[in-house]
Amino acid sequence: MTNSVPRLAAALASRGVSLVYAADGSEALSYLLQRIPPGARVMNGGSATLEQIGFLDVLRGGRYAWLRPAIAAVEDRAERIRVRRQATTADWLVGGAPPCKSAASSRCIRPAR
């Protein structure tokens, strides 16, 4: 773990966001699957990290109520705005962070409670 990870964790904590450090993608995916209960409403930010570790495949598989595709499916502008606002109340907001300067990477997840 690089020296920047504890500083980043402290900065995020001051905003109510927790950072979880994972040594590799497998560990990060395992953490997410253990932490987020099946059926939870999940929103994700655009993240190559989540794609690389396989979490978007899990979301596509139906384990969770994935909110992002519902937003993309709405064509009416007013309805899309309503659905986006609704997504801000997801049970979980999940995002990834790029790898640190070491070979390890950090993963950022936040229960949206």
Give per-residue pLDDT as tens, 14-41.
998 888 888 889 999 999 999 999 999 9
Q: CA dist 64 to 1, 14, 16, 59, 110, Å?
A: 31, 28, 23, 6, 16
Decide: 92 and 36 in contact? Cβ < 8 Å: yes
Give per-residue pLDDT as tens, 54-106.
999 999 999 999 999 988 899 999 999 998 898 888 999 888 766 544 434 44
3-state secondary structure 56-93: HHHHHCCCCEECHHHHHHCCCHHHHHHHHHHHCCCCEE
User: What pLDDT is recorded for position 18?
Assistant: 80
Q: What is the mean pLDDT of residues 47-60?
A: 93
